[in-house]
Amino acid sequence: MKARQGAYIGRMVPLSVLDLSPIVQGGSPGQSLRASRQLALAAERYGFQRYWLAEHHNMTGIASAATAVALAYIGEGTSTIRLGSGGVMLPNHAPLIIAEQFGTLEAMYPGRIDLGVGRAPGTDQLTARALRRHLTGGVDQFPQDVIELMAFLKAPQPGQAIRAVPGSGSNVPVWMLGSSLFGAQLAAVLGLPFAFASHFAPQMMDEAAEIYRREFTPSEYRSKPHLMLALNVVAAETDEEARRLFTSLQQAFVNLHRGMPGPLPPPVDDPEDRLAATVAPGSPLSKAVVGGPETVRAGLEAFVARHKPDEIIVTAQIFDQEKRLRSLELVAQARDALMMAA
C-alpha cells in the first residue's frame, strides 16, 4: 500500500494512532517499546496523521511511563508522522519540566510534536504522591498549570526570569484531553483542540462534544474547535478472528475493574460470553469497532456519521505484534475504501 500522510475517511476525517505500549504476559518493557516503535513506523507508512503515547505509572501492563523518553526513541525511527502524548498527566509534573521535555522533542523533530495534557494522575493516589511530592499543585491547580505550561512554550516576554530551554518559543501545540465534561469546558475556554477518551469512557462523549463546540472561544491557538475522538478498532481477516483478538483487551478491563491490573493477557475463546458486559451499551468498550474488513469499514463510517468528529485516534491492544500490525493495515485499507467511495 502506498503511504499517504494525512489521509482521510468519509467527510475528510483524519485517522491517528494511540498507543499504550502494552506489556504482554511473558514479555518485557523493552520488547513493548520496540514493538511501539514498529507500530509507529507502520502508522507512518500507512498514512496516519499522528502517533501518540499515553502516560501511566505503577502499572505492570504499560511501558510508556516515561512518555517523553519513549517518544524520543520513536522519533528517531520515524521521519514524517506527528508524535505526541495522549497524554501527559500534568498533575504529576511541574509545568516547566514538561515544557523542557517537549521543547527538547520539538528541537529534535521540528514541526512534528504534539503535547496532549490530562487532569487525571494516570495512576493511584499513593503513586501520584510519589511522583509529585510537594503539597501544592495537583488536580485542583490543573487549569493554572496548563496556562503556565503554554506560557513557557511561547516566545519569552521582556524581563521573564524563568525560561524553558529548550522549549521557550517552540510553540508546541497543546491539546486538552478528557474523559468527562471538565476537559471539554477547559478546552473551550482556552481555545485548544480537544481529544476525548471515548475508547474507555464513552458515556459522556456526546455531551462533552456538544459543550466543547458550543462554548469554544477562538484563541491564538485555534480559530475554531477541533474535536478528536478515541476509538478501539480491532481488525482481522474475519469477524470471528477479530473478536477473539479483542478478548485480550476485554480481559484487561475485567482485571482492572477487579483491582488486579497486569500484563496484557493472550486472547481466549469465550463460548459463554463471560466478557460480554465489557461491550454492553454504556460500558467502557461499547463503542469499539471489531471485525473483518467490511465490518470495520462500516463501523468507522457509522461512527463518523453519528458523532461527527474532526479526527479519530484509533487504538488496539492486541497480544500478538504481527496481528496488531495487520490490524492497523486493515484499518488503513478501510479508510482508503471509504475515501474512494466518498
Tens digit of each residue's pLDDT (9 = 90 or more) over 301-329: 999 999 999 999 999 999 999 999 999 99
Q: Are 94 and 64 in contact (CB under 8 A)?
A: no
What is the C-alpha to C-alpha distance for residues 303 and 306, in angstroms, rounded to an integer? 5
CA-nearest of 143, 140, 52, 43 to 102 is: 52
DSSP-derived letter for residue 24 is B
Q: What per-residue confidence (pLDDT) applies to 132?
A: 65
Q: What share of the chain is helix, strand, coil (3-state, %, to 5)?
A: 45, 15, 40
Q: What is the CA angle 198-308-116, rounded to 5?
A: 45
Helical ranges in the chain per DSSP H: 29-45, 67-77, 95-108, 125-131, 142-153, 181-190, 205-215, 239-257, 293-307, 321-341
> Among 216, 215, 194, which residue's Cα sits nearest to residue 205?
194
- Which cell goes with 210? 456538544
User: What 3-state DSSP class applies to 230?
Assistant: strand
CB atoms within 10 A of CB 222: 17
Which pLDDT score, from 0 to 100, does residue 5 have?
A: 42
Domain ranges of the chain: 8-341
Whole-Å CA distances, 73 to 34, 53, 126, 131, 154: 9, 12, 29, 23, 25
The answer to whether the peptide bond before residue 87 is cis (omega within 30 degrees of 0) is: yes
DSSP 23: P
Q: What does DSSP assign to residue 320? A: S
Residue 244 grid cell: 477473539
Strands 8-9 and 13-19: antiparallel
What pLDDT score does 171 carry? 97
24 strand-pairing partners: 264
The low-confidence residues of the chain, meaning pLDDT below 70, are 1-12, 121-139, 271-272, 342
pLDDT of residue 1: 40
Fold classified for 8-341: TIM Barrel (3.20.20)
Nearest to 36, CA basis, from 333, 316, 331:
316
Cβ atoms of 164 and 105 within 8 Å: the answer is no
Q: Are 230 and 285 in contact (CB under 8 A)?
A: no
Contact call for residues 281 and 318 (beta carbons, < 8 A): no
